[in-house]
Amino acid sequence: MRFLATALSCSLMLAACDVPETGDADAPKVAPVLDTADAVDTQTFAKPLEARVVNVDLDLDLDFAAKKVSGTAMLDLIAKPGVEQVILDDDGLEIESVTDGEGKPLEYEVGEVVEGKGAPLTVTMGDAREITIAYTASDAAALQWLSPEQTAGGKHPYLFSQGQATLNRTWIPTQDSPGIRQTWSARITAPEELTVVMSGLSQGDPEATDDGKRAFTFEMDKPVAPYLIAIAAGDIVFKELGPRTGVWSEPAMIDAAAAELADTEKMVEAAEELYGPYRWGRYDMIVLPPSFPYGGMENPVMTFLTPTFIAGDKSLTGLVAHELAHSWSGNLVTNAVWGDGWLNEGVTSYFENRIVEQVYGKQRAEQEAALSFANIENTLAEVGMDAPGTALHTDSDGGELVGSAIAYDKGAYFLRTVEHIVGRQRFDAWLTQWFDNHAFQPATSAMILADMQENLVRDEEEAKALMLREWIFEPGLPSNVYKPDPKAFAAVDAAAKAFADNRQLDEKAWGNWTSAERQRFLAKLPRKLDNAELAGLDEALRLSDSKNNEELFLWLELAMANQYEAVVPRTEQFLTHVGRAKFVRPLFTTLWEQGAWGQTIATRIYAKTRAGYHSVTQGGVDKVMQGAR
């Protein structure tokens, strides 16, 4: 099977077939940086065209009692002739010393702090091209330290990081910009009962240290954007899923995690058949405790996942397809600046849907695409077709004006539309060469537009039909958008209408629906319902008992929007257990919008749950609850 499929796709992909299947001997040690105006990252203090970091070597100790990491970061630099200073990003690090390769102290200065960005750490390195920074990171926003009670096992503490977008500067002194790629290695010591994993390949078994700890070593020999350096440590175990795939989690969760992720190897094969070789060696994942703020994070060779995707029936594994696809779009070819975040997220969301189609079939893929289109429509209806934040390319720092609908969903629909117009075969060949020709490099909107014009568009007529520039640089939704099949949810929409018109419910149909269909149904229900109607829904469809967190979330949101008291305890339980920002923030928002009733509840719950959330989730909810704290 595998052989046949690979042979078939090779005929479409030409060059990609010559590349070795795993690993990539051609990965450059030193990746280029871009020098165009649209590639200037306003979120970093670094001046990479003057002097930049090309390799980071960490030697750090994890102190769970004090919740801090300390040790050294040795940086290899390259610089223009005559340049004697290098500027790094530093957000709250306590710097003890900076020395050169011979241990000679170097002068350094920490500049003024800019909110949300940290401060420049300027090192006068003279002609030294290797510097070592000794430092401690306490209270790092990237790191969440969990007490034993916050884990499933309840016996050991836990640590995980979330670096994207600009948080890694709170625990690693380097140039923290997606356009400045670096190779890295690390030696991490941790209490002996804990296991450490990172987003680099493990270099053999841990070694016992003199002070009763264990030291773990890792290496990433391909240049990556530094937001992709990630760490997790806890009482975790590993289960193999396939020849190059496996999953880590706490022992209590490992079987459920492995069962849910059983299709991973198939997904890697599907992704390779679509767009060329997986270049990172292994593809492992770690299922984190429920406070992880995102659905997933595409840390190379070690995707970080929320446990909330585990539904027991693989219905939410589109998330895994998404993180896997980032191994091409995002990790291999990376947005040079966050204002071009759609290059990471939109291309990945499109790619995700293609993997889902390959592994689970056309119907599920079309339904998931239809949910994504509804997200675009709802967002545009809310913020307006002319809102500048609805262009794929934004001059801003990729802020959160429009949530996920633009970078993710509009980005995916752009590629879906292009595919529809030029045909799948030509489109796939184009996207494959885009990944190949920009592998291990940063990219901008202007670059992908030029590449499409050069390598995809056949003639003027086709150029007109594609509306490429409009898609990338104009707000709203271009008229040529290839909409989802209106039949994708025809039966479900009819069922929602039957409920809206005369409160008819077909429990049996609900029982047979896919998760996408159930989500669609819940989203299409009337927004105003009374207590009796909500009680009827809950009883018939057992919504409060749902094991599917996407469905449960939609139900809780609907219930809170109608001030349905009976479901407040279930909402509180959910918010206490789960820290995923996608669920937590809208639930607090919905409560807050209810005036005194909901604000009292939200304030009471948040006082209890805030400390258990990662800083990313805290930041989002703090904004919602402004004035309440």
Q: Which is nearer to Zn ion, 120 or 178 (CB)?
A: 178
The smaller minimum CB distance to Zn ion, of residues 394 and 609, is found at 394
**Based on CB atoms, which residue is closest to Zn ion, 145 or 278?**
278
How many residues of this chain interact with Zn ion, rule: CB under 5 A? 2
What residues have CB less than 8 Å from 549, skipping those under 6 apart? 308, 309, 311, 316, 578, 583
- Letters for 430-469 (x = contact with Zn ion by CB under 5 A, - = none) are ----------------------------------------
432: Cα separation from own chain's centroid:
22
User: Is the CB of 91 or the CB of 345 nearer to Zn ion?
Assistant: 345
548-577 positions binding Zn ion, by CB under 5 A: none
- Give the residue with the Cβ less far from Zn ion, 77 or 325: 325
Residue list 375-414, contact with Zn ion (CB under 5 A): none
Gap between the Cα atoms of 99 and 475, Å rounded: 49
Minimum separation from the CB atom of position 358 to Zn ion (A): 19
Least distance to Zn ion, CB of residue 330, Å: 7
Of 345 and 517, CB closest to Zn ion: 345
Rounded to the nearest 10°, the torsion over CA 291, 294, 296, 297 is -110
How far is Cα 276 from Cα 273, in angstroms, rounded to an integer?
6
CB nearer to Zn ion: give 190 or 268: 268
Exposed e or buried b for every residue in 83-118, given b needs 16+ CB within 10 A?
eebbbbbbbbbebeebbbeeeeebebeeeeeeeebb
Q: Helix 568-577 to helix 549-561 angle, to the nearest 10 degrees?
A: 130
Instruction: Give the shortest CB-593-to-Zn ion separation in angstroms.
Output: 28
Q: Which residue, 403, 393, 389, 418, is CA-closest to 338?
A: 393
* Tokens encoding 66: 């004090």
User: How open is the CA angle 408-411-415, to the nearest 5 degrees?
Assistant: 135
Q: How far is the CB of 165 from Zn ion (least distance, A)?
A: 12
Q: Kindly state the smallest distance separating residue 130's Cβ from Zn ion, in Å.
A: 34
> HEC string of 323-353?
HHHCCCECCCEEECCHHHCHHHHHHHHHHHH
130, β-bridge pairs: 76
Whole-number minimum distance, CB 258 to Zn ion, in Å?
23
Helices (H), 474-577: 490-502, 507-512, 515-524, 531-541, 549-561, 568-577
Contacting Zn ion within 332-371 (CB under 5 A): 345, 348
**Subset of residues 129 to 168 that bind Zn ion, contact rule: CB under 5 A:** none
Q: Of the two residues 182 and 348, which places its CB atom closer to Zn ion in the complex?
A: 348
State the nearest-atom distance from the C-beta of 333 to Zn ion, in Å.
14
Minimum CB separation of residue 225 from Zn ion in Å reads 13
State the residues that interact with Zn ion by CB under 5 A.
345, 348
